[in-house]
């Protein structure tokens, strides 16, 4: 019998809730961010397994993103990363590459996803090594500085656009 993802999510939430309560007392051994990252990892692994069994690709994509964000958070907490904006750029590329690879594993006849995985993982690797030398990340940071001001308005307008066109 397939274990329900809702039950797994329920267990993860109960455990993380208990850890959050403990976090308020001095006996806690995990910080709030660590609890979140471990919860994301704990959700991601069974969700990928269940989605592969059910052939639910939307869930597979979602679970892969959740798992990768969990890893990213864990790295960010435990290691001192100077360029926090640069992480976003690299992470998007690596996460997209991983999702593409998972989609290829789910349906191996679709070689296009393997190609995408290779392209994005390679771009992710290059963004760590080459792009920094080329000054691309500096340019990215400059654009991000401008984007930061209009980001909330863009999000709000996108949300409104989607809401007003929801029945189309």
Partner 1 sequence: MNDQDFPNIFDEQKDDYSYNPIRKKKLERSNHNRIITGICAGIGKYFNTDVSVIRIIAVLSLLFGLWSVVVYFILSLTVSAELETRIISDEEKELQIKLNFRTVTSGVLMLSGIYFGFSSFGFQFLQFQLFLSGGIFSGIVLIGIGIFLYTSNSQTTALLNPPSNFNRSSTDKIITGVCGGLAKYLSIEAQTLRIAFIILTALTLGLFSILYLLLSVLVFQENLKSNDDIT
CB 23 within 8 A of CB 38: no
Is residue 109 involved in binding partner 1 (CB under 8 A)?
A: yes
Question: Please, what is the minimum distance in Å from the beta carbon of residue 67 to partner 1?
Answer: 17
Least spacing, CB of residue 50 vs partner 1, in Å? 6
Which residues make Cβ contacts (< 8 Å) with residue 123, sequence separation at least 6? 93, 97
**Cα(110)–Cα(108) distance, rounded to whole angstroms?**
5
CA dist 119 → 15, 96, 103, 140, 141 (Å): 38, 10, 14, 20, 23
134 binds partner 1 per the rule CB under 8 A = no
Contact residues: partner 1, CB under 8 A: 2, 4-7, 9-24, 32, 35-36, 50, 54-59, 61, 88-89, 92-93, 96, 107, 109-110, 112-113, 115-116, 119-120, 123, 136, 139-140, 143, 147-149, 151-163, 165-167
């Amino acid at each position: 019998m397939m274990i329900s993802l809702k039950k797994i999510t329920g267990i993860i939430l109960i455990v993380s809730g208990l850890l959050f309560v403990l976090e308020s007392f001095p006996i806690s051994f995990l910080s709030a961010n660590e609890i979140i990252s471990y919860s994301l990892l704990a959700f991601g692994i069974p969700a990928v397994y269940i989605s592969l069994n059910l052939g639910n690709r939307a869930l597979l994509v979602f679970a892969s993103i959740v798992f990768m964000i969990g890893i990213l958070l864990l790295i960010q907490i435990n290691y001192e990363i100077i360029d926090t904006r640069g992480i976003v750029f690299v992470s998007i590329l690596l996460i997209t590459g991983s999702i593409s690879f998972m989609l290829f594993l789910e349906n191996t006849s679709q070689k296009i996803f393997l190609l995408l995985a290779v392209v994005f993982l390679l771009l992710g690797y290059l963004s760590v090594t080459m792009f920094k030398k080329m000054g691309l990340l500096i340019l990215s940071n400059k654009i991000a500085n401008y984007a930061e001001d209009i980001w909330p308005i863009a999000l709000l307008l996108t949300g409104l656009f989607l809401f007003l066109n929801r029945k189309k």
